Every structure is written in C-alpha cells, then in structure tokens.
Amino acid sequence: MDGMIYFNNVTKIYDEEDKGSRALDDISLTISAGEFVSVVGHSGAGKTTLVKMILADERPSGGSVFFESLNIHKLKNKDLTELRRRMGVIFQDFKLLSNKTAYENIAFAMEAAGKTEEEIASDVPHVLDLVDLGYKASHFPHQMSGGEQQRLAIARAIINQPELIIADEPTGNLDPVNTFEIVQILKKINNLGATVILATHNKGVVDSVGKRVITLEKGRIIRDDKDGKYVL
C-alpha cells in the first residue's frame, strides 16, 4: 500500500505566548491507502487538530502535512479545492441542510462537484440504500432520528467516491445501537477501498473496529498499534 497521509514533525501551537501548550507536539506518522485508522485520546489530546491539519482548516506551527506527494498547506486555493474533493468528512453534529430532503442533501453534494442530473438520479438512490435509508429519501432531517441523520451524513460524504473518509467523533451524539450501525457502515466503506480515519474517544467503537489505533496524549503519539484496542 502507498502512503496517503504523511505528517512530518508537525507541531501546532495556538497560543504563541504559551509555547508549552501544544495541541500537536512534533507528530510524525504515515497512513497508507486503504487503511482504517482510529485516532483516540481524551478530550484535548489533539485528535480534532490532527484532523483539521489534513483538511487544511488549520496550519502547522512547524513541520509539514502531505497528501501523497502534495504539501497540503502550500497548495493554492484552486488546488486545495480539488484535493478536498478527494475527501469525505463526517461530523458529530451532522451538518445537514435542514430545508432539503435526504435525497436533496446528497444531490446537493453531487451538484457542487459538477455531476450531471443523470449521475445524480442514478447514484443517490444507490447510496441511500447502502446506508439503509432508501425508504427515507423524501424525509427532511427533522423527521429522522439521530442515527438516521448520521447515516445520511455518511451517504453525503461518500457520494462522490472520495479516496479518504475522515470521521470526527461521528458517534458522539448516538446511542449504542446506532453507534454500532455507524461503525458497520464505516467498515463497509473501508472494505470497498476507501481509507478511513476515525477520531473518537469511544472505547467500544475502537475495540469493535479492531484495526490500527493511534493514541494521542497532550499532542503527542504515545501508542501506535497495528491491530489495536483503546488503551489509556
């Protein structure tokens, strides 16, 4: 497998007056294409900052982040937009469009990527079925449960067939049954070939995935287990 994501001695300091307070502290790691990686740690350990580095939502104070051979933080806006289209992001709070149906939420993501009406008509029902929401196509988010809304958010994230899925605490607002369903969908997406990075503090989620686990503590990597469990 080829290296997809590479962190080279990455440090992030939010408060320049407090050099001892580092959200990320000299992080180096490689994530290969096709991997399923859980990034774990207590609140404030640096999980979300690490995710934001990959999305270029934050810039490193030191070091570099690469997507394949591309230095993410040196890309021009046009090239960064192209790179982000190769990624799908799933958030804890769903970020769905409340005035659009399930079908329209996904179609909107396809329209933004320049897909044709024919492609939309073909692909949206397929991806709704993939996350077991075919019967909810005409429902608005407020008519759906939290678990259904998160499955819709996943469908929207994968509709343009991104190479990388980033899930930042995707089960944080869900009960155990819905959490299990979300994990199964993420594993299915990974089995279909996408790289998955899951940032979470949910021990049960990490243990049920049974893949590589990177543990952060105070911005540093303290464990990196190939077939890991959540250990803190």
| CATH code at position 163 | 3.40.50.300
Q: Which region, left, alpha or beta, applies to residue 158 given φ > 0 means left and ψ of -120 to 50 means alpha?
A: alpha
102 is a domain residue: yes
Query: Into how many domains does the chain fold?
Result: 1
121 is a domain residue: yes
CB 165 within 8 A of CB 186: yes
8 is a domain residue: no
What's this model's pTM, rounded to 2 decimal places?
0.92
CB 55 within 8 A of CB 166: yes
Nearby residues of 68 by Cβ (< 8 Å), 6 or more positions away: 2, 3, 4
Instruction: Please give the residue range of the domain that contains residue 103.
Output: 35-58+84-225
6 is a domain residue: no
CB 29 within 8 A of CB 46: no
119 is a domain residue: yes
Q: Could you report the per-residue pLDDT of 123-145, keeping only the tens digit for each?
A: 999 999 999 999 999 999 999 99
- Give the separation between CA 11 and CA 61, rounded to whole angstroms: 6
66 is a domain residue: no
180 is a domain residue: yes
Q: Is residue 192 very low, low, confident or very high in pLDDT (cuts 50, 70, 90)?
A: very high
230 is a domain residue: no
Q: Could you report the per-residue pLDDT of 69-85, keeping only the tens digit for each?
A: 999 999 999 999 999 99
Mean pLDDT of the chain: 92
Amino acid at 122: S
